[in-house]
Amino acid sequence: MTINPRFIFWLPRIICIIAILFISVFALDAFQPELTVWQQIQAFAMHLIPSFILLLILIIAWRWELVGGIIFLLVGIGLSPLVFMHNYRMNGSVGMSLLIIATITFPFILVGILFMLGYRMNRKQTTVKNKPLES
């Protein structure tokens, strides 16, 4: 069974865009009635900083799959303990905290792996295409 290179090209990009949109939804809690409009806009922009950083990493990964894949993998793995501890302190549940990690950081680990897989597949294809014919 062979994997279609176009599938591996688009899958991490689509998953990443969906994950960034999901993370961006959390910025909506910046809108609180007791704040002025200007304070709400400032809070909303501050809450979107992680989304902007992830979008920048996606742009890097789109151009340089290996570099972007490594960065996404490190982001996902590196943030997992922080996200776990933050949520464990809030809810006291190991299971709930692990579920939150699965929904917030695991997609970026998966995206990193898929970008690196795409890089490897492209490299193999390029090597096969450039291989001289043996007589």
Domain boundaries, the chain: 5-125
pTM of the model: 0.84
Mean pLDDT over residues 6-11, rounded? 92
- Rounded CA-CA distance 118/100 in Å is 27
Output phi, psi for 49, to 5 deg: -55, -45
pLDDT of residue 50: 94
CA distance 101 to 104: 5
Predicted local distance difference test score (pLDDT) of residue 5: 80
Q: How far apart are CA 111 and CA 18, in angstroms?
A: 11
Q: Model confidence over 98-119: pLDDT tens digits?
A: 999 999 999 999 999 999 999 9
- Number of Cβ within 10 Å of residue 117's Cβ equals 16
Closest Cα to residue 105, out of 54, 68, 65?
54
pLDDT in tens, 13-32: 999 999 999 999 999 988 88
Contact between residue 61 and residue 110 where contact means Cβ atoms under 8 Å apart: no
Cα torsion angle, 128, 130, 131, 135, sign: positive
The mean pLDDT value for 62-68 works out to: 96
- How much is the mean pLDDT over the chain? 90
